[in-house]
Amino acid sequence: MTGNSLLTVESLAVEYPSNRLRRPPTRVVHDVDFTIGVHETLALVGESGSGKTTIGKAILGLAPLAAGHIWLDGRDISTIGRKERRALAVDLQAVFQNPYGSLNPSMRVGQILAEPLFADGSVSKSDALATIRRLLERVGMPGDSVTRYPANFSGGQRQRIAIARAVARTPRLIVCDEPTSALDVTTQAAALDLLTELQETLGVSYLFITHDLAVVKEFADRAIVLREGTVVESGTSEQICLRPVHPYTQRLLAAAPVPDPRLQRKRRAARLQLAADSPIHLPDDQAR
Ligand SMILES: Nc1ncnc2c1ncn2[C@@H]1O[C@H](COP(=O)(O)OP(=O)(O)OP(=O)(O)O)[C@@H](O)[C@H]1O
C-alpha cells in the first residue's frame, strides 16, 4: 500500500456471475493498480465496456471483488461488512451519470439532502435545515428548492442537487461516474466548474470516470487508460491527452470529437493510419 495516497487499489480483479447455469463467472477487470492522492483528481478513461464503471462500483462496494484490495486512508475497505460500508458514506460518496435516475422523484430536495446528514445521527434537526440551505447556496441553487421535487428542475440543476448530496458530509473521495455526459455543453462546463470549486474549498479527491478526453485534459491531474479491463497506460492528464504512448490511447484520442473541422480531418487521417497499423476494434460510426 502506498504511504501518502488517499485511495489505493491493488491487483483488483472483478468478476460477474454468469446468468447461465454452470457457466464460470466472467472476469471484466484484471489486475488493476492505482492510487489517488489527497485533493487529487484521477480520470479513468476507456471505450464503452472497458470496465470503468465496474471499478467505480468495486470501490463503492457495489461490485464483487474476485481478487485484490482497496484501501481508503489506510483502511482496507475491500472486506468490510454492510454496517461499516454504511458508516463509510461519510468519507466516500458518488455522483452518477443520470441526474434523472439518481434522485428519488418522490422526495423533496430538502429530504434528499437531509438523508446523508441524518445517516449517523450526528446532525440535529435544527442544524440540518441551515446546513441544507448552505449546501444549496454552495452549488448555486435557490434556497426555496428545499420544498420542491426533482421533477421541477432541469438536468443541470438536478446534477447540482446530486453534487450537493454527495458533499453534504464533506467526504474524502467522490466517485464521479460520467457526471456530465448527460448534460449539454454549457451545463457540463458549469458542473465541472462547480466540482473544481468544491475540490478547492473542501479538499475532496475525485475518481472521475469518463470517455471524454477533452474533459480529462481540463479537469484531471492524472489519468488511467483502460482497455478490456486492463490498464494500458497511465500518466499525467497532459501526457495522456497530448503525448499518448499506447496505440489504443492514440486511437481513443483520434476518435474524440473536436469542434475544429481542420483538426478533425487531421485526427481522422492519423486515426486511419493507426487503424492500419494495429487491429483494435472501434465502433463503425467512429471508423468513418
Ligand atoms: N452486472 C453485470 N453483470 C454482468 N456483466 C456486467 C455487469 N455490469 C457490467 N458488465 C460487463 O462488464 C464489462 C465492463 O462494463 P462497465 O460498465 O464497467 O464498462 P464501462 O467502461 O463503464 O462502459 P460504459 O462507458 O459503456 O459505461 C462489460 O463487458 C459489461 O457488459
Q: Which atom of ligand 1 is least distant from the CA of 50?
A: 21
What is the C-alpha separation between 288 and 273, in angstroms, rounded? 13
Would you state the pLDDT for residue 261? 53
10 Å CB burial of residue 271 (0-12, 13-18, 19+) is buried
- How many Å lie between the centroid of ligand 1 and the Cα of residue 107? 29
- How many Å lie between the centroid of ligand 1 and the Cα of residue 111? 32
What is the C-alpha separation between 129 and 114, in angstroms, rounded? 8
Residue nearest to atom 29 of ligand 1 (CA): 49
- How many Å lie between the centroid of ligand 1 and the Cα of residue 201? 33
Would you state the pLDDT for residue 231? 98
What is the C-alpha separation between 286 and 284, in angstroms, rounded? 5
- How many Å lie between the centroid of ligand 1 and the Cα of residue 106? 29
What is the C-alpha separation between 224 and 211, in angstroms, rounded? 11
- How many Å lie between the centroid of ligand 1 and the Cα of residue 59? 15
Residues with CB under 6 A from ligand 1: 16, 28, 46, 48-54, 211
What is the C-alpha separation between 68 and 83, in angstroms, rounded? 21
Given a cut of 50, the residues of the chain with pLDDT beneath it are 1-2, 278-288
Residue nearest to atom 3 of ligand 1 (CA): 16
Q: Are 69 and 78 in contact (CB under 8 A)?
A: yes
What is the C-alpha separation between 204 and 273, in angstroms, rounded? 41
Residue nearest to atom 12 of ligand 1 (CA): 28
Would you state the pLDDT for residue 286? 38
What is the C-alpha separation between 52 and 28, in angstroms, rounded? 10
Helix intervals (H) in the chain: 52-60, 82-88, 109-118, 125-138, 155-167, 185-202, 213-219, 237-242, 247-255, 261-277, 284-287
Name the residue of 53, 96, 213 whose CB sits within 8 Å of the most ligand 1 atoms, as the mutation to test its pocket. 53
- How many Å lie between the centroid of ligand 1 and the Cα of residue 151? 29
Would you state the pLDDT for residue 277? 53
Residue-wise burial string across 150-181, b where 16 or more C-beta atoms lie within 10 A, e elsewhere: beebeebbbbbbbbbbbbbbebbbbbbbbbbe
Would you state the pLDDT for residue 288? 34
- How many Å lie between the centroid of ligand 1 and the Cα of residue 143? 38
Name the residue of 12, 19, 26, 28 whose CB sits within 8 Å of the most ligand 1 atoms, as the mutation to test its pocket. 28
What is the C-alpha separation between 198 and 189, in angstroms, rounded? 14
